[in-house]
Chains A and B, each alone.
Chain A
Amino acid sequence: MNLSDSKKKLALAGVICGLVAACLAYFGNPANMAFCIACFIRDTAGALGMHSTETVQYARPEIIGLVLGAFIISAATKEYRSTAGSSPMVRFVLGMILAIGSLVFLGCPLRMIIRMSAGDLNAWVALIGFVLGVGTGVFALKKGFSLGRAHLTNRVSGGVLPALMLGILILALATNLLKSSESGPGSMHAPILMSLAGGLIFGAVAQKARMCFAGSIRDIILMRNFDLITIIGGFFAVMLIFNIVSGNFTPGFNTPGIIAHSEHLWNILGMYAVGFAAVLAGGCPLRQLILAGQGSSDSAVTVLGMFAGAAAAHNFGLAASGTALNAETQEVVAGAVPMNGKVAVILCIIVCFVIAFTNKRSEGK
């Protein structure tokens, strides 16, 4: 089974993933969050007690399903490869940057597309930053950037993250050890088995289609190749139709209740950091989960970095707040990026530049 050998199949893959996201939004996930990697890793980190923001704690079965879906399909189609050793700690830091940049914007690249399809003009502004970030990463690649070679390793090593995800699922289903929000975004979710099934399908399709939001723009800039963007096009089309039909399409900036803010500079810079870090890490947050599922310990370390970054974003007050409606006064309270978040994004961008121009490809290494 190969979903990546024609544009029609790639578009179909995007449509399937779009249908999964639309279903999950319809059955309870926050409407324009639907299927956000950064938000759901943040929620899962909260469920594990890595941060204490009570409104965003829930072990999202979608994240577990993505990793397990990629693991199962790659094992079944002989694409599973247990590899490790390509600058793991640099990748950990890049994972932290992916999470922090996303939580300043309020969404990963996947949610940026979902927000764009719901008419949220802030996401269109953030797209500028994301493209510029990817472009900067491409510039670094052309200058010889590389994190070095991964090597084949013990088969069990690549299965550790999928096993840990399975462990979280068992804890969520069979115990009350994990934290679970009673209000806020963490309390809004589709039924657990539906979320898990959605994650498994999304993960399997994304693995076969090589779905990657940063890669799709990187390939256009680097090689004038439009294959990967075709998937995003299919995904966007389904979400646009879903949002229009369900009445969730609201074009504008300061729309209350959609978990977004209108600080344009920080939307741009947050996603600039994400685009830049994603190219350096070899893929967007979604792609990191998929690569981790198919045996890459390096991507598994990036995923752990995202968990640490998401926890830090809430423990140290870096994450932005969304525009909301005050229930008593009916006034719109604008969402904002705290000063700590602004400083963190600047630091993240500086670290990306340091990583980009201090890690060079050399023969034989």
Chain B
Amino acid sequence: MREVDARGLSCPEPLMLTAEALKSGKGPVRILVTEPHQKMNVEKFARDHGRKAVSTETDDGFAVVIE
């Protein structure tokens, strides 16, 4: 699975990297973020683009898997 490490980056960088990853290829992508609002933003971005997102908490933030 492709992975985007957006941990610790300021807004809107996590969303920009997510958009880039979704545009650059098919298949699931795991997005790593630090802040809860970034997790919600990535989930919403996926939903708005017709993709399903499942989030889990990690040691230093969240992993959002976009299927």
Contacts and interface: CB of A to CB of B under 8 A. Distances in A.
Q: Do A and B come from one complex?
A: yes
B12 to A, nearest CB: 6
B35 A141 contact: no
Contacts of A210: 37
Contact of B8 (A4, A83, A141, A215): A83
B47 to A, nearest CB: 10
A148 to B, nearest CB: 8
A186 to B, nearest CB: 33
Contacts of A149: 7-9
B67 interface: no
A150 B34 contact: yes
A294 B15 CA distance: 20
A282 B16 CA distance: 13
A5 to B, nearest CB: 7
Given A5-B40, A79-B36, A81-B35, A218 B8 contact: no
B45 to A, nearest CB: 8
Given A4-B37, A81-B34, A222 B16 contact: yes
Contact of A219 (B5, B10, B12, B36): B12
Nearest to B17: A361
Contacts of B19: 223
A141 B16 contact: yes
A147 interface: yes
Nearest to A218: B12
A74 to B, nearest CB: 9
Interface in A217-237: 218-219, 222-223
A268 to B, nearest CB: 25
A147 B19 CA distance: 19
Interface residues of A, number: 28
A86 interface: yes
Contacts, number: 53
Nearest to B45: A223
A146 B8 contact: no
Interface string B23-67: 000000000001111001000100000000000000010000000
A282 B11 contact: yes
Contacts of B15: 223
A283 interface: yes
A96 B5 CA distance: 30
Contacts of B16: 141, 222
Contact of B10 (A78, A147, A151, A364): A147
A325 interface: no
Contacts of B10: 86, 146-147, 150, 281-282
Contact of A141 (B7, B12, B37): B12
Interface string A148-175: 1111100000000000000000000000
B30 to A, nearest CB: 16
A151 B8 contact: yes
A152 B44 contact: no
A340 interface: no
B8 A150 contact: yes
Contacts of B40: 2, 4-5
7 contacts: A86-B8, A146-B13, A149-B9, A150-B34, A152-B34, A215-B11, A222-B16
Interface of B: 5, 7-13, 15-16, 19, 34-37, 40, 44, 60
Interface of A: 2, 4-5, 78-79, 81, 83, 85-86, 141, 146-152, 210, 215, 218-219, 222-223, 281-283, 361, 364
